Amino acid sequence: MRWLGLDYGDKKIGVALSDEFGWTAQGLEVIPNKDVTAVLARIAQVVDQHEVSGFVVGLPKNMNGTLGPRAEICITFAQSLREAFNLPVHLWDERLTTVSAERTLIEADVSRKKRKLVIDKLAASLILQGYLNSKSTK
């Protein structure tokens, strides 16, 4: 079962894909977030190409665990995925994933310019990997 991990942002959506066994997550691409129809069309291509069985969408909770305006936007996006694809959609707490992704890239000595190109994809991988790890411990 392949999962698609999504790190939803106002300008870009990071995309990660699991392996066929649902064990590991790899960054796949970044989708420009200009038009919901275009975003869903691109996601449909990825779903068909990789035979995706479900989605994991990052849920940006506040540090105290409450949901703010950003979380509400992600919940709405997750609902759009459910309606468009009729596949399972899981919301996953993404607190500090972008910070972790940034730190990882800095430690790997990736230039600031290159970090901007891959940060969303790496954040999507961390979100998806967190979800996959939680499933493997059950």
At 47-95, the pLDDT tens digits run 999 999 999 999 998 778 888 888 999 999 999 999 999 999 999 988 7
Nearest-angstrom CA–CA distance, 26 and 19: 8
Q: How many Cβ atoms sit within 10 Å of the Cβ of residue 18?
A: 25
Higher pLDDT, 97 or 71: 71
Segment among 3-17, 32-46, 53-67 with least mean pLDDT: 53-67
Nearest-angstrom CA–CA distance, 8 and 123: 10
Residue 110 has pLDDT above 80, yes or no: no
Percent of the chain scored above 70 by pLDDT? 96
Residue 33 has pLDDT above 80, yes or no: yes
Give this prediction's pTM: 0.88
